[in-house]
Amino acid sequence: MIFKQARKLLIFSLISSFLLVVTIPSVHAAIDISQKIREQLYFIGYGAGIPSGTDQQVSIEGIIGTLISYALLLVGSVFLALIVYGGYTWMTARGNEKQLTEAKTTITEAAIGLVLIMAAWLITAYVLTAVLKAAKLIS
């Protein structure tokens, strides 16, 4: 009985030691690769004229752009949730026409809402670009 427990403990210790010896260099290599990727991305961004996190200046345009990006992210998330809800309702309708109609309506209205939001964003981006080009603020 004691021999079996000692044998299990020995096997567990050997496997644990082996895994530890194998994973430590892998973790070190992953950290090294991550640092190299970060450095390369910094150089690519610097070459493209994108400021890094340390020399980034805050501007009202940047704040507004960030807010618009987050708003579009929220709209996309709501769209995804509505599509999933509509699909789930459709799948669980089991021939119930009322649930089936509700599911189709949810999916259709979500798609229409997404198209309207994207169209509004595209029109706004086009108009702002045209106005800024006309005012010669951008090239």
* Chain segment 108-127, per-residue pLDDT in tens: 999 999 999 888 888 888 88
Domains in the chain, number: 2
Residue 139 pLDDT: 64
Per cent of the chain over pLDDT 90 is 24
Is 139 a member of any domain? no
> How large is the C-alpha radius of gyration of the chain?
28
Q: Beta-carbon neighbour count of residue 107 at 10 Å?
A: 18
Q: 38 with 89, same domain?
A: no
Q: 88 with 67, same domain?
A: yes
Q: 34 with 64, same domain?
A: no
Q: 111 with 85, same domain?
A: yes
Among 7-16, 17-26, 87-96, 109-118, the minimum mean pLDDT is found in 17-26
Q: 53 with 64, same domain?
A: no
Residue 14 pLDDT: 73
Q: 84 with 50, same domain?
A: no
Question: How far is 72 from 63, CA to CA, in rounded Å?
Answer: 14
pTM confidence score:
0.53
Q: 2 with 23, same domain?
A: yes
* Tens-digit pLDDT profile for residues 34-54: 667 777 677 666 666 666 665
Is 64 a member of any domain? yes
Q: 39 with 78, same domain?
A: no
Backbone angles phi, psi at 46, to 5 degrees: -65, -40
Q: 52 with 93, same domain?
A: no
Q: 102 with 117, same domain?
A: yes
Q: 50 with 78, same domain?
A: no
b/e for 9-21, b at 16 or more Cβ within 10 A? Answer: eeeeeeeeeeeee
Is 19 a member of any domain? yes
Tell which wins on pLDDT, 33 or 86: 86
Query: By residue range, what is the domain housing residue 76?
Result: 60-134
